Structure 1
């Protein structure tokens, strides 16, 4: 079984050296000691969630929330040549967190919540801040669970106009649409830059939104013969793109 992953402040990664002892404390230390019940000699991976990390063995456990690790190897996960960005319309209930969890596990680089006109869920004020916090916490925990060193960036919620600006800057901009003229499996993937893919809400992307996205340069892509839920379409599309891009090879 692969070693469990815990988050650590970036400055501790920067100063870490093979043979040195690095301390894990706070909430992550408590999770390692009190929940995971890590013991001396067991292997762990510590990461800043931004691509840098280290592998080592537990040297000592202090109290209920402090764990010292002897560094055996410094790790690095470089930036991908092509970033996969999924713009996710806000689903109902906890399906947004499910979408974030699955997209993080599969390897998506950026997740953008989108307040589409047909979204039943509305992110406003304190409720919106709380929901965004849940998405980011879900990405963090899923990043650790899937043993990633570079966790996805979860942006603040964007309007349709802001999403259009994001699409206009993408190397390959697209919208998943059941009436798409082209299949995503046949799209020409760039060798660098970003792929930005919009996943609409349960009620679909409205004609006005589609016009806005088309004007920004986005194509309409068909994913497959079946219509997926908004919470699963992003993971299916990302899996297809990651496989085709060579990142899974």
Structure 2
């Protein structure tokens, strides 16, 4: 499979054009992945544009690719949005990486009441940038035409407000209904918000607030999954149920 790179110029490039990779993408292509003149690669803008081309010149600071084919990949509908609680260590980052590889369409950092990690001030900006970088690199590795954006972190009231026009699935090990038992009406266009709590679980008051707002508590199975694996596992189930896979 050709190597895949992300460049804004892919948005406007057409067959026959030459697209230049510069900066980090050029260094990654030339010095890390060691592409060669004549090698086929794919390029994207992370927003649906998909180009196939051949390297015409390779240098550490610039890689030039002649476009041979252009495709516009439509955005998924309904979209799967992961509302991922901030977690200690790198558990939340692992969730972002795996969820992106599995096809999540947007990621919302959630400051849950039981989240040990707290994003405030400069740490908030750094955290969003870190998750965005992880999502970008995972999307490139997975050869995705769309890179899931990382939204501004929200507290529970913000998540509930965001969920007003979506179908909200609350991952809760004690829920009576299984995720695999849900029905999916034809033509459903609402976003699916998949809410995943921190390693201490979702606080009871937050569960009540979500349920009052129309969220559906669902379980994944008999075992209790970590916050780093619950979201990705649920995305795999949803991808099959929605016909993505």
TM-score normalised according to structure 2 size: 0.96
The equivalences for 1:28-67 within 5 A come to 28-61=25-58, 63-67=59-63
What is the rounded CA distance, in whole Å, between the counterparts of 1:91 and 1:119 in structure 2?
6
More off after superposition, 140-149 vs 26-35: 26-35
- Does 1:157 find its partner at 2:153? yes
Specify the alignment match of 2:66 in structure 1: 70
Q: Secondary structure at the match of 2:34?
A: coil
Listed one character per residue, the Cα deviations across residues 132-189 of structure 1 (whole Å, up to 9, x for unaligned) are 211110000000000001011111211100111122220x212011121211101122
> Following TM superposition, by how much is the alpha carbon of 1:72 offset from its aligned partner in structure 2, in angstroms?
0.8
Specify the alignment match of 1:213 in structure 2: 210
Residues 167, 174 of structure 1: 8 Å contact kept = no
Specify the alignment match of 2:139 in structure 1: 143
More off after superposition, 135-144 vs 180-189: 180-189
> Following TM superposition, by how much is the alpha carbon of 1:131 offset from its aligned partner in structure 2, in angstroms?
1.7
Specify the alignment match of 1:185 in structure 2: 180
Residues 79, 191 of structure 2: 8 Å contact kept = yes
> Following TM superposition, by how much is the alpha carbon of 1:75 offset from its aligned partner in structure 2, in angstroms?
2.1
- Does 1:227 find its partner at 2:227? no
RMSD across aligned positions (CA): 1.2
- Does 1:6 find its partner at 2:5? yes
Specify the alignment match of 1:15 in structure 2: 12
What is the rounded CA distance, in whole Å, between the counterparts of 2:98 and 2:83 in structure 1?
14
Question: Where in structure 1 are there 5+ consecutive unaligned residues?
Answer: none
Listed one character per residue, the Cα deviations across residues 51-93 of structure 1 (whole Å, up to 9, x for unaligned) are 11211010112x4120111111102221112100111111111
- Does 1:27 find its partner at 2:24? yes
Residues 11, 44 of structure 2: 8 Å contact kept = no
More off after superposition, 206-215 vs 227-236: 206-215
Specify the alignment match of 1:176 in structure 2: 171
Q: Secondary structure at the match of 1:128?
A: helix
Specify the alignment match of 2:115 in structure 1: 119
Specify the alignment match of 2:92 in structure 1: 96
Specify the alignment match of 1:242 in structure 2: 239
Q: Secondary structure at the match of 2:79?
A: strand
Residues 31, 60 of structure 2: 8 Å contact kept = yes
Change (3 A) 1:37 1:161: same
The number of residues matched between the two structures is 243
Residues 34, 65 of structure 1: 8 Å contact kept = no
Question: Where in structure 2 are there 5+ consecutive unaligned residues?
Answer: none
Q: Which of 115, 129, 136 is matched with 1:133 structurally?
A: 129
Residues 31, 65 of structure 1: 8 Å contact kept = no
